[in-house]
Chain A
Amino acid sequence: MEPLLIEALESTPKIFLDKENSKFVIAGKSFPEESKTFYAPVFEWLEEYAKNPNDKTWFEFKMEYFNSASSLMLLEIMNILNKMNKAGKEVKIIWNYLDGDDDMLEAGEEYAELVNVPFEYQAVEEID
């Protein structure tokens, strides 16, 4: 399966999904004008991946800022991960947040309440 790489822009995050090397990252700021259009290829890739996922999927979120429309998109991503988890694969969400950004930590905690996937929280010094 071809990896999906979208470089970060002013209003969109970096996205890197690579089945072969088991690397799944979304990082940066997300406030695109058309959130559905931007996230469409991500959903497409993940739906395809979910048909035949690796045994272990550790998905890294490294968000610095997202608007309310994007927050629904992130939830959609987690819902797909949730499905894989239910299907018996090992899935984990690694929720990175800037050290001191309590709002982002809380946003992660809120997501954790909504999906049945284990969360691991990590304070980081920088979002790359």
Chain B
Amino acid sequence: MKRILQLGIIYLVLLIIFLPLSMAQTLDKSIEEKINTYKEQAQAYQLEGNSIQEAENYNKIAYLYWENRMLNQAIDYFSRSLKLNKQNNNQNGIKTIYYNIGLIYADQEEYQRAVENFRQGIEYARNLKQKGGIYTGLINQASALKNLSQHKEAVTILNEALSYAQELNNLTLVRTCYGMLAENYEALGDSENALKYFDLFATVDKHIKAEQIKTIEEKSKEDIRKAEVEKAQSQKELSERSSELEKTKQTLQQTKELTEKQKLELELNRLTISEKEAELRNKRLIIYGILLIFVVIIFFSILVYRQFQAKKRANKKLADQNVQIFKQKEEIEKQRDLANKQKLDITDSIEYAKRIQTALLPPLSFIRRSLPEHFILFKPRDIVSGDFYWMMNKDDKIIIAAADCTGHGVPGAFMSVLGTAFLNEIVNKIVENKHVYSLQANEILNQLRSYIIESLHQSGADNESKDGIDIALCIIDPEKQKLQFAGAHNPLYLIRDNELKIFKGDRMPVSIHQKADKSFTNHEIDIFKDDVIYIFSDGFVDQIGGPKKQKFMSGNFKELLLKIHKKPMDVQEQILEKTFEEWKGDYIQLDDILVMGIKLETANRKLVPKDKYDWSDKTILIAENTEMNYLFLVEALKITDVNIVRAQNGTEAIAMFKENPEIDLILMDINMPGMDGFETTKEIKKIRKDIPVIAQTALNIEDAKDKAVEVGCDDFILKPIRLKLFLATLNKYLKS
């Protein structure tokens, strides 16, 4: 009996829990009623044989389902309407429905179907010669293709969309095309075109935003001006009202004085009247007096009452005006918020530029393979940076540079992109035309200077750009144990036997300059065991801070490097960063920071040491749908010799995990289509609770971390992945 009761209670509890859940899947009552009405109407029209109205009602139903996220039903009703529209040859209707169905499929991540529907819709739009309609279809189709990673097809379609956007002379549409073209080229690895279209995107974007901001600013100014005029008006009325009040007060005072006078006069009269008459007069006087007092009292009362009323009216008016002013203030604040939002949009576009700039820097894994013991401390002042580092391998030689472009932020970043591209071209050309052994550090800088002077059209005239680059460039030849160095302003520090040697850069920048006809100096240095070199921009030594708000200065910098040069490279980086932050304190960061340290002895050994990780007996399952990310992980894990199996989505990951009991660890991408990483982790943990699952995602949100922990992930890695941290994290779970 007790047991039955218990079961009953559990059943009740479950019912209470799941009832709302099951209800949440159904429609709101009122919407359901609406849908039913439309269904009835559709039926009635069907009987009448009015297929146009019947289709119209199906559309209404489909839209309602769509709005309420019942996507399958929405597609169903759109399909019914589509059939009728085809019967009636309503081409515009057919086009719209294909687009709608396409959008719903895209929403459900069924991109192949989405593409097919957009394609059909575009056919009809073409028949109708609707340029705008064709453009919309093409853009949607391209977006779906991009999600299918069919970037080449997307590019073709975007080019067509672009021509329509240009015909329509609509900058916003053009901007969308440029942005999507840049993204697709980036995905194709065609950085030249990606850069080109991003440039176009940024130019158009800047133009559009400048226009928008101008309009808003003008409107705000106008509103503020109006508000000020009205405020002045209100103040004027207020002061008029006040002066009226003042006048009333004065009248009152005068009346008071007058009555005093009268009293005195009466007194005087009384004294002149004879004694006999006195009694009679006295009586009269008393009567008059009383009367007079009465009159005065009434008079006063009226005055006071009027004054009170006037004051009340004035107050009310004032209150009304305050409300009005408040409203205007609110309106102005709204405008200001809008302007702030615009500013945010611009920041977003700079953030996008940062992605491109970061993509141009050599990947850390690439540097690490040639220079196993190095560090790069890179702290841009703004979102994008004027400092940049660059590296290239030619046969066994490693060419590496730390550069500092005039300015910081966006102008500096433009120069840095130019510098990166030029350095690549120069080194490739020298090696192609001559031989890798003819590479000279100073010659690279000489050529870089010519490129910059030529491309920025610098002639030395007074009012033109003198922008340029300060740079320290090294060529490391590990086979011959030789090092070449050339510098523009920036030096090379070499620490050997606890002594710091300075190789000064030439006192001229890579740009137009009085000495631009002079060659840069080439320094050749023999490499010894334990040699450590440092190249850097001036951001670190020039940072103001400390107790006296002074520059850090190179003296302190040299001392610090001497003190730490024997420590592991990543420790050196940490110390430098900590020292910098402590020195800076709450002062602003003045410039971009770049410091690179390299231990030369270990450079480019033919056999890359496996570091401390050997996982040749381990197997990792990587659940990752994006090809690029997967390849990056494989690259990062290469030196550990670990065995890798890959799943493209959640369902596959679960199946593979069941099939391969030897899997030691799972790297789980959170953002996968279909079953996401959270769901997949939950299922996998049900199979084997102790299998380590490490989530990885680009979402830097506390929520994602919390959710990862909640579903049972053992650890969490944020993209972009930092190699050392990544390997160390994996090692925690693999070593046991």
- Tell yes or no: A64 within 8 A of B by CB: yes
Q: List B residues 561-620 near A (Cβ within 8 Å).
A: 590-591
Task: Give every chain A residue within 8 A of B231 (Cβ-Cβ).
Answer: none
Q: Is the CB of B555 within 8 A of A102?
A: yes
Report if A67-B591 is in contact (Cβ < 8 Å); known contacts: A103-B541, A114-B514. Answer: yes
Q: Is the CB of B514 within 8 A of A102?
A: no
Cα A69 to Cα B555 in complex, Å, equals: 24
- Tell yes or no: A46 within 8 A of B by CB: no
Task: Give every chain A residue within 8 A of B406 (Cβ-Cβ).
Answer: 68-69
Output the least CB separation between A14 and chain B (Å).
15
Report if A103-B554 is in contact (Cβ < 8 Å); known contacts: A65-B542, A65-B544, A113-B507. Answer: yes
Q: List B residues 528-545 near A (Cβ within 8 Å).
A: 538, 541-542, 544
- Tell yes or no: B466 within 8 A of A by CB: yes
Output the least CB separation between B556 and chain A (Å).
9
Q: Is the CB of B514 within 8 A of A67?
A: no
Output the least CB separation between A70 and chain B (Å).
11
Q: Is the CB of B466 within 8 A of A72?
A: yes
- Tell yes or no: A62 within 8 A of B by CB: no
Q: Is the CB of B550 within 8 A of A98?
A: yes
Q: List A residues 55-109 near B (Cβ within 8 Å).
A: 64-65, 67-69, 72, 98, 100-103, 109
Cα A83 to Cα B139 in complex, Å, equals: 61
- Tell yes or no: A110 within 8 A of B by CB: yes
Cα A64 to Cα B542 in complex, Å, equals: 9
- Tell yes or no: B407 within 8 A of A by CB: yes
Cα A101 to Cα B542 in complex, Å, equals: 10
Cα A98 to Cα B553 in complex, Å, equals: 10
Cα A106 to Cα B180 in complex, Å, equals: 49
Output the least CB separation between B465 and chain A (Å).
10
Q: In the complex, which of the residues B470, B551, B591 contacts A103, with contact meaning CB atoms closer than 8 Å?
A: B551
Q: Is the CB of B590 within 8 A of A31?
A: yes
Q: Is the CB of A100 within 8 A of B553?
A: yes
Cα A101 to Cα B591 in complex, Å, equals: 18
Task: Give every chain B residue within 8 A of A100 (Cβ-Cβ).
Answer: 553, 555
Cα A13 to Cα B541 in complex, Å, equals: 20
Closest Cβ neighbor of B470 among chain A residues: A68
Q: In the complex, which of the residues A72, A98, A102, A103 contacts B542, with contact meaning CB atoms closer than 8 Å?
A: A103
Cβ proximity bits B390-405 to A, threshold 8 Å, 1 near / 0 not: 0000000000000010
Q: Is the CB of A64 within 8 A of B590?
A: no
Task: Give every chain B residue within 8 A of A68 (Cβ-Cβ).
Answer: 404, 406-407, 470
Closest Cβ neighbor of A68 among chain B residues: B406
Task: Give every chain A residue within 8 A of B554 (Cβ-Cβ).
Answer: 102-103
Task: Give every chain A residue within 8 A of B542 (Cβ-Cβ).
Answer: 65, 103
Output the least CB separation between A86 and chain B (Å).
16
Q: Is the CB of A64 within 8 A of B514?
A: no
**A-B interface contact total, Cβ < 8 Å:** 38
Q: Is the CB of B541 within 8 A of A69?
A: no
Report if A101-B553 is in contact (Cβ < 8 Å); known contacts: A29-B544, A65-B590. Answer: yes
Cα A103 to Cα B404 in complex, Å, equals: 16
Output the least CB separation between A98 and chain B (Å).
7
Closest Cβ neighbor of B406 among chain A residues: A68
Closest Cβ neighbor of B468 among chain A residues: A68
Report if A103-B544 is in contact (Cβ < 8 Å); known contacts: A31-B590, A69-B406. Answer: no
Cα A12 to Cα B542 in complex, Å, equals: 16
Output the least CB separation between A125 and chain B (Å).
11
Task: Give every chain A residue within 8 A of B550 (Cβ-Cβ).
Answer: 64, 98
Cα A109 to Cα B514 in complex, Å, equals: 15
Task: Give every chain A residue within 8 A of B470 (Cβ-Cβ).
Answer: 68
Output the least CB separation between A109 and chain B (Å).
8
Q: Is the CB of B553 within 8 A of A103?
A: yes
Q: In the complex, which of the residues A64, A69, A110, A113 contacts B551, with contact meaning CB atoms closer than 8 Å?
A: A64
Task: Give every chain A residue within 8 A of B541 (Cβ-Cβ).
Answer: 103
Closest Cβ neighbor of B507 among chain A residues: A110
Task: Give every chain B residue within 8 A of A103 (Cβ-Cβ).
Answer: 538, 541-542, 551, 553-554
Task: Give every chain A residue within 8 A of B407 (Cβ-Cβ).
Answer: 67-69
Task: Give every chain A residue within 8 A of B544 (Cβ-Cβ).
Answer: 29, 64-65
Closest Cβ neighbor of B489 among chain A residues: A110
Q: List A residues 25-44 near B (Cβ within 8 Å).
A: 29, 31
Q: Is the CB of A65 within 8 A of B551?
A: yes
Q: Is the CB of B553 within 8 A of A67?
A: no
Q: List B residues 456-492 near A (Cβ within 8 Å).
A: 466, 470
Closest Cβ neighbor of B513 among chain A residues: A114
Q: In the complex, which of the residues B466, B507, B555, B590 contacts A67, with contact meaning CB atoms closer than 8 Å?
A: B590
Task: Give every chain A residue within 8 A of B514 (Cβ-Cβ).
Answer: 114
Task: Give every chain B residue within 8 A of A29 (Cβ-Cβ).
Answer: 544
Task: Give every chain B residue within 8 A of A72 (Cβ-Cβ).
Answer: 466
Cα A68 to Cα B408 in complex, Å, equals: 10
Task: Give every chain A residue within 8 A of B551 (Cβ-Cβ).
Answer: 64-65, 98, 101, 103
Closest Cβ neighbor of B412 among chain A residues: A68
Residue among A67, A72, A110 with the highest chain B CB neighbour number at 10 A: A67
Output the least CB separation between B387 and chain A (Å).
12
Output the least CB separation between A110 and chain B (Å).
5
Task: Give every chain B residue within 8 A of A109 (Cβ-Cβ).
Answer: 507
Cα A31 to Cα B543 in complex, Å, equals: 12
Cα A37 to Cα B541 in complex, Å, equals: 27
Q: List B residues 112-150 near A (Cβ within 8 Å).
A: none
Q: Is the CB of B507 within 8 A of A102?
A: no
Cα A98 to Cα B546 in complex, Å, equals: 15
Output the least CB separation between A79 and chain B (Å).
9
Closest Cβ neighbor of A106 among chain B residues: B507
Task: Give every chain B residue within 8 A of A102 (Cβ-Cβ).
Answer: 553-555
Cα A89 to Cα B378 in complex, Å, equals: 48
Cα A68 to Cα B415 in complex, Å, equals: 14
Cβ proximity bits B480-520 to A, threshold 8 Å, 1 near / 0 not: 00000000000000000000000000010000001000000
Task: Give every chain A residue within 8 A of B590 (Cβ-Cβ).
Answer: 31, 65, 67
Output the least CB separation between A54 and chain B (Å).
25
Cα A109 to Cα B507 in complex, Å, equals: 9
Task: Give every chain A residue within 8 A of B591 (Cβ-Cβ).
Answer: 67
Cα A114 to Cα B460 in complex, Å, equals: 14
Q: List B residues 610-638 near A (Cβ within 8 Å).
A: none
Output the least CB separation between B466 and chain A (Å).
6
Task: Give every chain B residue within 8 A of A65 (Cβ-Cβ).
Answer: 542, 544, 551, 590
Closest Cβ neighbor of A109 among chain B residues: B507
Task: Give every chain B residue within 8 A of A101 (Cβ-Cβ).
Answer: 551, 553
Output the least CB separation between A19 and chain B (Å).
24
Closest Cβ neighbor of A110 among chain B residues: B507
Cα A87 to Cα B541 in complex, Å, equals: 39
Q: Which 5 residue pairs spanning A and B have beta carbons closest together?
A: A110-B507, A68-B406, A103-B554, A101-B553, A114-B514
Supply 29 A–B pairs (Cβ within 8 Å), ascending by A: A31-B590, A64-B544, A64-B550, A64-B551, A65-B544, A65-B551, A67-B407, A67-B590, A67-B591, A68-B404, A68-B406, A68-B407, A68-B470, A69-B406, A69-B407, A72-B466, A98-B551, A100-B553, A101-B551, A101-B553, A102-B553, A102-B554, A102-B555, A103-B551, A103-B554, A109-B507, A110-B507, A113-B507, A114-B514
- Residues of B participating in the A interface, judged by any CB pair closer than 8 Å: 404, 406-407, 466, 470, 507, 514, 538, 541-542, 544, 550-551, 553-555, 590-591
- Residues of A participating in the B interface, judged by any CB pair closer than 8 Å: 29, 31, 64-65, 67-69, 72, 98, 100-103, 109-110, 113-114
Give 15 A-B pairs besides A67-B407, A103-B541 with Cβ atoms closer than 8 angstroms. A65-B542, A65-B590, A67-B590, A67-B591, A68-B470, A69-B407, A72-B466, A98-B550, A98-B551, A100-B553, A101-B553, A102-B553, A102-B555, A103-B538, A109-B507
